Amino acid sequence: MTGEGASELLRVEDLKVYFPIKSGLVIDRHVGDVKAVDGVTFDITKGETLGLVGESGCGKTTVGRTILRLYDPTEGRIIFEGNDIARLAQREMRKLRGRMQMVFQDPYSSLNPRQNVGNLIAEPLKIHGIASGDNARRRAEELLDIVGLPKASTARYPHEFSGGQRQRIGLARALALNPDLIVADEPVSALDVSIQAQMVNLLEELQEEFDLTYLFIAHDLAVVRHISDRIAVMYLGRIVEVASADELYASPRHPYTIALLSAVPIPDPEIESSRERILLKGDLPSPANPPPGCRFHTRCPFRQPERCDTEVPELRLLSDGHLAACHYAEEIKAGKITMHDSGEVPAHSA
Amino acid sequence: MALLSVRDLAVQFVTRKATVRAVNGISFDLEAGATLGIVGESGCGKSVSSLAMLGILPKPAGRVTRGEVDFDGVDLLKLPDSQLRQVRGKDIAMIFQDPMTSLNPVLTIGRQITESLRKHLDMSKDEAKKEAVSLLGRVGIPAPEDRIKDFPHQFSGGMRQRVMIAMAISCRPKILIADEPTTALDVTIQAQILDLLKHLVAEENMALILITHDLGVVAGTCERTNVMYAGRFVESATTSSLFARPRHPYTLGLLKSVPRLDAARKEKLEPIGGTPLSMTQDIEGCAFAPRCIYATDKSREETPELARIDSDDHLVACWNPVPDEDLPHVEVVATQAEGRTAR
């Protein structure tokens, strides 16, 4: 089945990725699963940036890695340009990876310290048989120039570069094969703020120049809002809300999104002092044993006695292009359901 | 008189290959019950300066080369280790970024909290245990009587940071130094921890030094903020004045380079050009000059000292402070996320 819109690049349907929990000394007994991703559906249009946000452990990185088939999906379909690649053999997949590349979070561990930068960038060209020898080196220099590093860097090693420069090298390597889709997994979160902005701008410039499509995975909502066209919010292995970046901020519909937005500190003391913050109670439940019904009901400040803990809410269309998975989204918006005390942090003073 | 008074503190790391000038002469006063934020990017010396104050610099490379740290009339830098140990953990306590590595994995939480109670306050085993339970309750850990027997790995990141805070406040310190206390935590957990810190500081009349790279965190927590660059304070002001009228080009640069969640989306972010200097070289003139659009020849030759600007409360170390017309104007966008929370 191909996508209805000709411009759809990727669609993920009901994706599930479970990691088995094993136990036993001699025989590995399968005693359960960590349901890292449990029924995720979204699509990305060509040339767009989809932001995927959520807190640690919500499965956002697993989604990104599974799209590139670095993990095998347990269930579901990954449709890239109309073809389901979820069950593709690794050999077939390798050919396709030239079209989809990844930029990793940690610029220190994602570059081989014993290879010089020229080789690091040229390696994908050699593996895919696109260029070798002098041609590959020239292409590596060209790529370094594109990401704003001196061409002479090819002879240097990763440890000679700062974190921001290393992230540029990682980006040059991802661009080597002219990909269509780049999965960027927290590409700026290891960088200092002044360097972060340089990287965000570079990503945007490259998108325009090379017509790239991004899946931008991050936990920093302000950065995600800046760079994304649309944003999907994940909680405990499921998507709870999808909307355009501005709409999501202006009118969040899922209680988790509302709480998340209210928790982001804003660099303005006047606004900070007058803001009402929703403090969620407790921690993220274990993805090995997620709560029944709506997964957020254990921490939800708007929880109702019915449906929330028994019935899994589906992601449903609330308004044009705005989806949320909450049984009571309409009532909350209309003000018929107000927040109750469970949204507050346990008392810390008598 | 100020509770803590730091004068011209300088710290170097000396190795065979190079000398790193981590802190190059910082001075500040902290009153009882005050909250001070120290903001800067990695490597600017913000953590090292507090380690130096408490005499816990990594040895043998780290050394204090000059300065005074006056606490309650005593220069901490001159105290012998045995006496400094009486201050550390009791009068001045510290919590760190990573709550996993700062807790001992093979001792129960209870054992780790009672240790300082028994040492500093001379409590008996039973008294200390009772106090530990009440402390865990105060920092918001459910069922503290049971959790006290648990080991660090049985706690989540946010809960571990709560345990660290319980340990830090156990001896009712006069000063709490929190070094990036929420950097390793998710934003919803960060909000919980910052809220807890704010409440505790107010209740106990503790002074707080909050070290962070996140401007949003100081904006909501600290009365006063010092901005640090290359081992020096470049600007020091009340938090409201600093954010409303940043005078140092570096402060302005930091504010402009982070996207704000509540502001209308900009086409492009405005990063600070270039990268920080290597701290192994001798710095002549203003350390920020190579990245600064306002820099002049004077900036490259003479190092500016912190001096009064606008008011007695606002200090800046800059020859060419940011003029009013260059101050950022932020267009704030409304959200329904907050309006709806009012009950």
One-letter amino acid at B62 equals G
In Å, what is the CA distance from B5 to each residue of B1, B27, B32? 9, 8, 11
Q: Which of A204, A252, A264 sits opposite B187 (nearest CB)?
A: A264
Predicted confidence at residue B338, as pLDDT, reads: 54
Total beta-carbon pairs less than 8 A apart between chain A and chain B: 180
Q: Which residues in chain B touch residue A192, judged by CB atoms under 8 angstroms apart?
A: 41-42, 213
B240 in A contact zone (CB under 8 Å):
yes
Tell me: the pLDDT tens digits for B33-47? Answer: 999 999 998 889 999
Cβ contact A252–B253 (<8 Å): no
Cβ contact B191–A251 (<8 Å): no
Please name the residues between 282 and 321 in chain B that touch chain A, using a CB distance below 8 Å.
none
Render each residue's pLDDT in chain A as its tens digit; 350 residues: 444 445 899 999 999 999 999 888 888 888 889 999 999 999 999 999 999 999 888 999 999 999 999 999 999 999 999 999 999 999 999 889 899 999 998 888 899 999 999 999 999 999 999 888 899 999 999 999 999 999 999 999 999 998 889 999 999 999 999 999 999 999 998 888 888 999 999 999 999 999 999 999 999 999 999 999 999 999 999 999 999 999 999 999 999 999 999 999 999 999 888 888 888 887 888 888 999 999 999 999 999 998 999 999 999 999 999 999 999 999 999 989 988 764 443 433 33
Q: Is B288 helix (H, G, I), strand (E, B) or coil?
A: coil
Minimal CA separation from A29 to chain B, in Å: 24
CB contact at 8 A, B242 and B312: no
Predicted confidence at residue A344, as pLDDT, reads: 44
Which ipTM score applies to this complex?
Answer: 0.85
Residue A93: other Cβ atoms inside 10 A: 15
Checking DSSP bridges between strand A29-45 and strand B92-95, what pairing results, if any? unpaired
A318 in B contact zone (CB under 8 Å):
no
Predicted confidence at residue A39, as pLDDT, reads: 95
Tell me: the pLDDT tens digits for B64-88? Answer: 999 999 998 999 999 999 999 999 9
List the structure tokens of A315: 């992601």
Please name the residues between 25 and 44 in chain B that touch chain A, using a CB distance below 8 Å.
41-42
| Averaged pLDDT score across all residues of chain B | 91
List the structure tokens of B238: 């009340």
Average pLDDT over residues B95-106: 86
Predicted confidence at residue B43, as pLDDT, reads: 86
Please name the residues between 245 and 274 in chain A that touch chain B, using a CB distance below 8 Å.
245-246, 249-252, 257-273
Predicted confidence at residue B343, as pLDDT, reads: 33
Please say if the pLDDT value at position B275 is more than 90. Answer: no
pLDDT-based confidence at B342, cuts 50/70/90?
Answer: very low
The span from the CA of A49 to the CA of A67, in Å, is: 15
For an interface test with A, which of B135, B138, B139, B192 has the most A Cβ atoms less than 10 Å from its Cβ? B192
B335 in A contact zone (CB under 8 Å):
yes
B158 in A contact zone (CB under 8 Å):
yes
A127 in B contact zone (CB under 8 Å):
no
Highest mean pLDDT out of A11-20, B179-188, B280-289 = A11-20
Minimal CA separation from A187 to chain B, in Å: 15
pTM of the model: 0.89
What string of H, E and C letters represents the secondary structure of chain A? CCCCCCCEEEEEEEEEEEEEEEECCCCCEEEEEEEEEEEEEEEEECCCEEEEECCCCCCHHHHHHHHCCCCCCCEEEEEECCEECCCCCHHHHHHHCCCEEEECCCCCCCCCCCCCHHHHHHHHHHHCCCCCHHHHHHHHHHHHHHCCCCHHHHHCCHHHCCHHHHHHHHHHHHHCCCCCEEEEECCCCCCCHHHHHHHHHHHHHHHHHHCCEEEEEECCHHHHHHHCCEEEEEECCEEEEEEEHHHHHHCCCCHHHHHHHHHCCCCCHHHHHHCCCCCCCCCCCCCCCCCCCCCCCCCCCCCCCCCCCCCCCCCEEEECCEEECCCCHHHHHHCCCCCCHHHCCCCCCC
Tell me: the pLDDT tens digits for B223-255? Answer: 999 999 999 999 999 999 999 999 999 999 999
Q: Considering only residues B318 and A1, tell me which one the structure prediction assigns the higher pLDDT.
A: B318
